[in-house]
Amino acid sequence: MTLIELHQVSKTYRTHGAVTEALFNVGLKVDKGDIFGVIGHSGAGKSTLLRCVNLLERPTSGRVIVNGKELTALREKELQQERRRIGMIFQHFNLLTTATVTENIAFPLKLAKWSSSRIRARVDELLELVGLRDHAGKYPAQLSGGQKQRIGIARALATNPDVLLCDEATSALDPQTTQSILQLLLDINAKLGITILLITHEMHVIRSICNRVAVMDGGRIVEEGDVLDVFLKP
């Protein structure tokens, strides 16, 4: 089953008279259960592509369909609803620095107007999932990079999304911590059935956890397929 579809998605940025064509007619299909990696050099358009999936960035043209819903056709209110089914994590974690671990994870649940008892139970489950039970009352500054990304993952999964978008999620981490976060992503995919779409400039990230890969260059997908096929070709 296809979970994410992009049809002829283009994105042009216009800032101060400068025009940057970041995406040209990109088509993409991600199946349910995939760990799909998009790789390419800096400036290739990966981040723009990822942000077009949850409409953090609005495509200039083209259609984005997630879970059978055409996001590009929705009103803001319906879009907010659908976004709860799409989690996202970031290179620099994007945590609330003045909030505790618990408060960071609870944040999207408050926005979604969950009751405080449901929030408490859900936050406990998530702390367990990412292995941060002993750090619930700490602030992000008291934690390591790997622990911060675990908070990011717990927050992204809070509303039970079907999809997790990962924007260079391990690029700010050392190799050992990177491995532990990649292992956590594998577990989340295997145990919870969450589909993962990640962007990276690092081949080893693709090789260690992805089953599918697309290679981007100059705003286009220039190659796509099973990881083994794409990277074992002569």
Question: Where on the chain is the footprint of ligand ADP (CB under 6 A)?
Answer: 13, 15, 20, 22, 40, 42-48, 91, 167-168
Is the CB of 11 or the CB of 150 nearer to ligand ADP? 11
Determine the Cα–Cα distance for residues 42 and 218; give it in Å rounded to an integer. 10
Q: Provide the minimum distance between the beta carbon of 200 and ligand ADP in the complex, in angstroms, as a whole number.
A: 10
- Least spacing, CB of residue 223 vs ligand ADP, in Å: 15
**Nearer CB in complex with ligand ADP: 2/10:** 10
Q: Tell me the residue number closest to ligand ADP, measured at CB.
A: 47
**Rounded least distance, CB 120 to ligand ADP, Å:** 33
By the 8 A CB rule, do 178 and 2 touch? no
> Per the structure block, which two tokens stand in for 215?
């290679």
Nearest distance in Å: CB 197, ligand ADP:
13
> By C-beta, is 163 or 215 nearer to ligand ADP?
215
Please, where are the H alpha helices in the chain? 46-53, 76-83, 101-111, 116-130, 145-157, 175-192, 203-209, 227-232
CA dihedral over 20, 200, 104, 85, signed as positive or negative? positive
Q: Considering the complex, what minimum distance in angstroms separates the CB of residue 13 from ligand ADP?
A: 3
Nearer to ligand ADP, 34 or 168 (CB): 168
> Which lies closer to ligand ADP via its Cβ, residue 188 or residue 216?
216
Alpha-carbon radius of gyration of the chain: 18
Q: How far is CA 143 from the centre of its chain?
A: 22
